[in-house]
Chain A
Amino acid sequence: MNRIKQKLNEDKKLLSIYFTAGYPNIDDTVSIIQNLEQSGVDMIEIGLPFSDPLADGPTIQASSTAALKNGMTTEKLFDQLKDIRKSVSIPLIIMGYFNPVLQYGVEAFCKKCQEIGIDGLILPDLPADVYDEEYKATFEKYGLINVFLITPQTSEERIRYIDSISNGFIYMVSSASTTGAQSGFGNEQTHYFERISKMNLNNPQIVGFGISNNDTFTQATTHTKGAIIGSAFIKYISENGINELNNFVNPILGKN
């Protein structure tokens, strides 16, 4: 069974962490993954950097620019990850923009992911209908779960459609924003989390954007399966390095 699905079956709230591959240093990828697994997170999103990350705020933009400057490429990332399954068993997702995948070749990319042991992909600018018509069969052939985003503005009809073509979880963007844009959730978000929860979708939801500490993690996961942290983690490793990741993860999970 796909590692993401196994993890989603566990009776706990999940913490997923995003980092940009090639940042802060080109060769940090494997160490970050190993250290995150040891620090007790449940899932990891490996960011494939892109020159024009439209959906990202300043923190992830800057990390992408730095990673590209450091020499990160699709080929380089695959090379770094080739033995990753010898040392970790945590679910791994590659998150990036569609153009680099298109240039690599969608099928070749998916095949490589399967060889390495990647479990899923998040490509925010690959629209649901295009995926459904052109790429779903390929993703499934290589055992990859594709994750779609929804936002507070997504209509119920479209959420149902996205649910129908998803086979893992739904990435709930907490508010209308790019990544890292806000701090703290208000009533509006709570109502949104509740509203979606009451839809009884087939796929569990994991909340992303705007989560940075135990408060926001708890709020986000009260009505959902888990939460994703990106910008706050990038900021943390920029300032503290990639080794003592417990110091970042424990407070979020409410551990001392």
Chain B
Amino acid sequence: MKNTYNINNKGYYGEFGGAFIPEMLYPNVEELRQNYLKVMAESSFQEEFNQLLKDYVGRPSPLYFAKRLSEKYNTKVYLKREDLNHTGAHKVNNTIGQILMAKRLGKNRIIAETGAGQHGVATATVCALMGLDCIVYMGEIDIARQAPNVARMKMLGAEVRPALSGSRTLKDATNEAIRDWINNPVDTHYIIGSAIGPHPYPDMVTRFQSVISEEIKWQLKEKEGKENPDYVVACIGGGSNAAGTYYHFLDNEDVGIIAVEAAGKGIHSGESAATSALGKEGIIHGCKTLLMQTDDGQITEPYSISAGLDYPGVGPLHSHLYKSGRGEFYSATDDEAMQAGLELTKLEGIIPAIESSHALAVFQHKTFNPEDIVVISLSGRGDKDLQNYIDYFKL
């Protein structure tokens, strides 16, 4: 098997990645870099991780053949049901992995950033499970618009600290978490929630999420008699569910990789989060990747109706998939995503997270052949988005 699309030994996917961090973070990131693969390979780690994924998260998540959706689009659609995980999304795969990593590195204080609150809840959950202190940074504006998740984190024992700087959303929450880490260099582990950040984070998060594609392979074998679908489809903000969905297919070019970004009100509306279309190579939160910025190199504010896709960068793996042409990139507008979410609800009785609805909107952009097997990552459930759906459709 070729190994072109995986990370190289210097922490780069092609020209993207690396660790562009202030020296204050170097000891922490270096400690992690030197240990993460070793720790993940330990049999006691594997055992504990797999046990928790099974008994606590509820894995394997089903690979569901969506019959009515398939009929509508005249192709074979399978949904990878990450929405059925404990805490309602794929995020928990990574937080379980990282909390076990943190414990083995002797850390007793956990910090995280969150946008919509899903990663914050997944982090607060595993901290409650392990009895570790948890501080979640969240933009002041997001705190106001995601009240139920803020309440969940508090109930789980986390302290939710508002990010008051900049635009007071996910980007700034990430800045604040990084500043916290700079100020607490010894006892603290930073659980980054997406496939972003300085090396080794994108690779570590991808590996923890790769259980998604690992399961797809054997599940599809059971159902279709073959391991490889024709396409895997996922939405991309920072790109952790996408990274996990693609991982075991990266170097098999018979499997098409499709990414759907958030176009917001339209790619060129000025209110968009379609990073691959609008971004240029630069440095954000410690890695070289595509990001939305001014000509002067100031990072700009993205927009999407989906708080989970509302990030001005994209993980370095995805920049590489885009730039190399390995991935097909589309973007769905707010309207397309909301309609796709409603359609899934009506056809299959599943209310998806608005993030995942973007992946479902792939049918507005690409026509598949009737015999194609298309696996779509249903990364999260829509409970958290009910108010948005209600407001949008005036339900």
Give residues in A with beta carbon < 8 Å to B.
50-55, 57-58, 61-62, 65, 68, 73-75, 97-104, 124-128, 130, 148-151, 153-155, 158, 162, 173, 176-178, 181
- Does B24 contact A65, Cβ atoms closer than 8 Å? no
Q: Is the CB of A125 within 8 A of B282?
A: no
Given contacts A57-B179, A127-B20, 20 further A-B contacts (CB under 8 A): A51-B166, A51-B300, A52-B285, A52-B299, A54-B175, A62-B165, A97-B283, A99-B283, A102-B283, A103-B296, A125-B20, A127-B21, A127-B23, A149-B22, A153-B186, A154-B27, A158-B26, A176-B186, A177-B24, A178-B183
With contact pairs A99-B283, A153-B27 given, residues A51 and B299 touching in the complex (Cβ less than 8 Å): yes
Does B384 belong to the interface (CB within 8 Å)? no
For the complex, is B293 an interface residue (Cβ under 8 Å from A)? Answer: yes
Verify B20–A98 contact, CB threshold 8 A.
yes
Chain B 355-395, CB-CB to A under 8 Å as 1, else 0, gives: 00000000000000000000000000000000000000000
Nearest first, the 5 closest Cβ-Cβ pairs linking A and B are A103-B297, A100-B297, A149-B23, A124-B22, A51-B298
What distance in Å separates the Cβ of B279 from its nearest Cβ neighbour in chain A?
12
**Residues A148 and B179 in contact in the complex (CB < 8 Å), given A51-B166, A51-B299, A65-B166:** no
Q: Confirm or deny: B222 has a beta carbon within 8 angstroms of a beta carbon on chain A.
A: no
Nearest CB on B from A123, distance (A): 9
Let me know if B18 is at the binding interface, CB within 8 A.
yes
Check B55 for interface membership: any CB of A closer than 8 A: no
Nearest CB to that of A181 among chain B residues?
B183
B47, CB-defined interface residue at 8 Å: no
Is B183 within 8 A of A99, CB to CB? no
Of the residues A102, A148, A162, contact of B282 by C-beta under 8 Å: A102
Q: Is B131 an interface residue (CB 8 A)?
A: no
Contact indicator B21/A125 (Cβ below 8 Å) = yes
Which of chain B's residues have a CB closer than 8 A to the CB of A55?
22, 24, 179, 182
CA gap between A52 and B182 in the complex, in Å: 15
> Which residue of chain A has the shortest Cβ distance to B164 in the bound complex?
A58
- Chain A residue numbers with a CB within 8 Å of B178 are 54
Are B166 and A52 within 8 A (Cβ)?
yes
Task: Contact check, A65 vs B165: say whether CB atoms are below 8 A apart.
Answer: yes
Give residues 285-322 of B contacting A (CB, 8 Å).
285-286, 293, 295-300
Given A51-B166, A52-B171, A65-B165, A74 contacting B296 (CB threshold 8 A): yes
User: CB distance A178 to B186 under 8 Å?
Assistant: no
